[in-house]
Amino acid sequence: MADTVLYECDDHVATITYHRPHALNAINGELRQDLNAAWERFRADEDAWVGIVTGAGRAFCVGADLKDGTSSVGEWSGSFWEIPTINSFESGMEIWKPTIAAVPGYCLGYGLTSVLRCDFVIAADDAEFGFPEVGLGVPTIVGAMRLPGRVGWSNAMEMLLTGERIDALTAKEIGLVWRVVPRDELMAQAHELAARLVARAPLAQRATKEMAARGPHLPWEDALRMGESMRRIVGATADAAEGFAARREGRNPEWHAR
């Protein structure tokens, strides 16, 4: 993987870092390829149980690179309507491991679409969020599908249809951000949360997250059948046996994600 995206994994926590600080981490073709590869690596990495995504320098990500935007959306096989669009984390790649966005500075366009895919959003106090696309004469698509469910219709429409930015405190007020912290505490806060998540059974977390995502879109009985099936599958794993044994023996469990 090239230097436009960094991937590090330590104590079951993978950190994915946008790394074009000179361009405020704007996405060009090279960064897009590396970013997709990083998320695919995280999804397949058996040692990575929790993911943190952040940006190097003064920004999280300012969206597509308008000076070098070739292939910023990625590349696909197929033709016209047959081209699949779920080729990235932003566009809906299925990852059921917990994810945390640690947001410094500007978070715009593709950057904000990525943040909306994360389970937790911790913002530095200098963070700014926005979808500027309408100011360029193009629509926001995935962000428009995702934002109303996070912040409510009118708040979403204000951001999407004006293209104006909001600050970190406003983002927290409307539910876009979970916590706002001083810039120099951002990564420490993200890793503190990641450590709390790693302390719990990873397979049980993934099943729970998937049910939270899929369940509301299924008929009630179908959701229950799916959930109970997942409960039995995860309940038959070595980690489930370890969890009950640790509780009986009064000790902390040792998880192995199997």
- pLDDT tens per residue across span 161-182: 999 999 999 999 999 999 999 9
Strand 99-103 relative to strand 106-108, pairing: unpaired
- Domain-located, residue 91: yes
- Domain-located, residue 255: no
Copy the structure tokens of residue 45.
């990495």
pLDDT of 1 reads: 47
Same domain, 85 and 208: no
pLDDT of 73 reads: 62
Number of domains in the chain: 2
Distance, in Å, from the CA atom of 176 to the CA atom of 85, rounded to the nearest integer, reads 24
Same domain, 193 and 173: yes
Distance, in Å, from the CA atom of 62 to the CA atom of 68, rounded to the nearest integer, reads 13
- Domain-located, residue 258: no
- Domain-located, residue 256: no
Task: Look over the chain and give the mean of its residue pLDDT values, rounded to a whole number.
Answer: 94
Strand partners, 15: 8, 52
Sequence-distant (≥ 6) Cβ neighbours of residue 226 within 8 angstroms: 211, 214, 215, 218
pLDDT of 220 reads: 97
- Domain-located, residue 115: yes
pTM, two decimals, is 0.94
pLDDT per residue rounded down to tens, the chain (258 residues): 458 999 999 999 999 999 999 999 999 999 999 999 999 999 999 999 999 999 999 999 999 998 876 665 666 666 767 666 788 999 999 999 999 999 999 999 999 999 999 999 999 999 999 999 999 999 999 999 999 999 999 999 999 999 999 999 999 999 999 999 999 999 999 999 999 999 999 999 999 999 999 999 999 999 999 999 999 999 999 999 999 999 999 999 999 999
Copy the structure tokens of residue 59.
């920004």
pLDDT single digits (tens) 106-149: 999 999 999 999 999 999 999 999 999 999 999 999 999 999 99
Same domain, 209 and 194: no
Provide the b/e sequence for 241-258 (b: ≥16 CB within 10 Å).
Answer: ebbeeeeeeeeebebebe
Same domain, 73 and 39: yes
- The boundaries of the domain holding residue 194 are 5-198
Same domain, 150 and 223: no
Q: Point out the domain boundary residue: 179, 198, 217.
A: 198
Same domain, 97 and 123: yes
Q: What is the CATH number of the domain that holds 72?
A: 3.90.226.10
Percent of the chain with pLDDT over 70: 93
Same domain, 169 and 237: no
- Cα torsion 184, 185, 186, 191 to 10°: value is 140
Same domain, 76 and 192: yes
Same domain, 101 and 161: yes
- Do residues 93 and 124 touch, judged by C-beta distance below 8 A? no
pLDDT of 5 reads: 98
pLDDT of 75 reads: 66
**What does 94-162 look like in DSSP terms, one character per residue?**
---S-EEEEE-BEEETHHHHHHTTSSEEEEETT-EEE--GGGGT----HHHHHHHHHH-HHHHHHHHHH
- Domain-located, residue 143: yes
- Domain-located, residue 182: yes
Same domain, 106 and 207: no
Same domain, 183 and 206: no
Same domain, 93 and 211: no
- Domain-located, residue 175: yes
